[in-house]
Amino acid sequence: MDSAKIETGCQLFKRIEKRPNLGYMKFLGDQPNPRDFIQITGEAGSGKTLLITDLIAQCILPKSLNYNGSCAIFINTDHHFSVLKLYALMKECLKDTDVDINEVIEESLSRLIIMNCYSNEQLKITIMNLEKILNENVLINFVAVDSLSAYFWCDQEDVKHFNTASYYVRGLTMSLRNVYGNRNVMTAFTDNLENPLNAGVEYTMFLKKGDAGKHEMTIHNSKIGTDFIRHYNIGNCVEFVD
């Protein structure tokens, strides 16, 4: 892309600082760095879409209620995400507060941009177009994609040699990094890969369906090389049971 422009160190610092950092994320048990990538992977029905919906809620709910109050972009390729579900999930998060729930949720929803993609080409062009949207809104610091592997089989038609799904997903994460440049934007994406990506992501959340609705989440932090396991239920939101 042709975004290279000359700016002074002060200008660069000012531009980067404008985009607020995301705070503590309960699912990671950690405060991610501004440009980290979170991969959410696991079998069908393990709760990937619900988890990414929950991450979006944590991001857009207001700062005054100990959330992030940021702006976010959601790229919808699998079309399992439902804005009605997001509304219900935020309602669940706010049930113990004494605020006007509908007003807070509507205000939070206005900070989210949804983009529906219907083809591999449209997804790739949408990723390229993110640069323009990020420049227009300096408060966007979170991009969520559900899922990055949705058009893998379409891509096989366009390439000369058969690639693996991991290779395809890694290519898209690299395109996202190129588009962000120096901007403080964190990314969470889901995929349907059988094995988690070994490189290019800072956190991997591997979801595994368990018996009697008790599922297992392995969170791998590749920066320090640690794994920790948590168990969860799928209800109106992702509820940890340990």
Positions that interact with another protein (CB under 8 A)? 2, 44-45, 49-50, 73-75, 78-87, 106, 109-119, 121-126, 128-129, 132-133, 147, 151-154, 156-158, 162, 192, 213, 234
Nearer to another protein, 132 or 208 (CB): 132
Question: Strands 215-221, 226-234: parallel, antiparallel or unpaired by DSSP?
Answer: antiparallel
Determine the Cα–Cα distance for residues 203 and 188; give it in Å rounded to an integer. 9
- Shortest separation between residue 129's beta carbon and another protein, angstroms: 4
Nearer to another protein, 162 or 225 (CB): 162
Minimum CB distance to another protein smaller for 30 or for 87? 87
48 neighbors 147 (Cβ within 8 angstroms): yes
Which residue number, 117 or 219, has a Cβ lying nearer to another protein? 117
Give 138-163 as a 3 state SS string.
CCEEEEEEECCCCCHHHHHHHCCCCC
CB 219 → another protein: shortest distance, Å?
22
End-to-end CA distance of the chain: give it in Å, rounded.
46
Minimum CB separation of residue 57 from another protein in Å reads: 11
Nearer CB in complex with another protein: 24/153? 153
Q: How far is CA 182 from CA 18, 36, 188, in A?
A: 12, 12, 17
d(CA 177, CA 58): 22
100 Cβ partners below 8 Å, 6+ apart?
none
Q: Minimum distance between the CB of residue 125 and another protein, rounded to whole angstroms? A: 5
User: How would you classify the pairing of strands 112-116 and 140-146?
Assistant: unpaired
Q: How far apart are CA 198 and CA 220, in angstroms?
A: 11
Taking the complex as a whole, how short is the minimal distance between the CB of residue 239 and another protein, in angstroms?
A: 13
CB nearer to another protein: give 36 or 183: 183
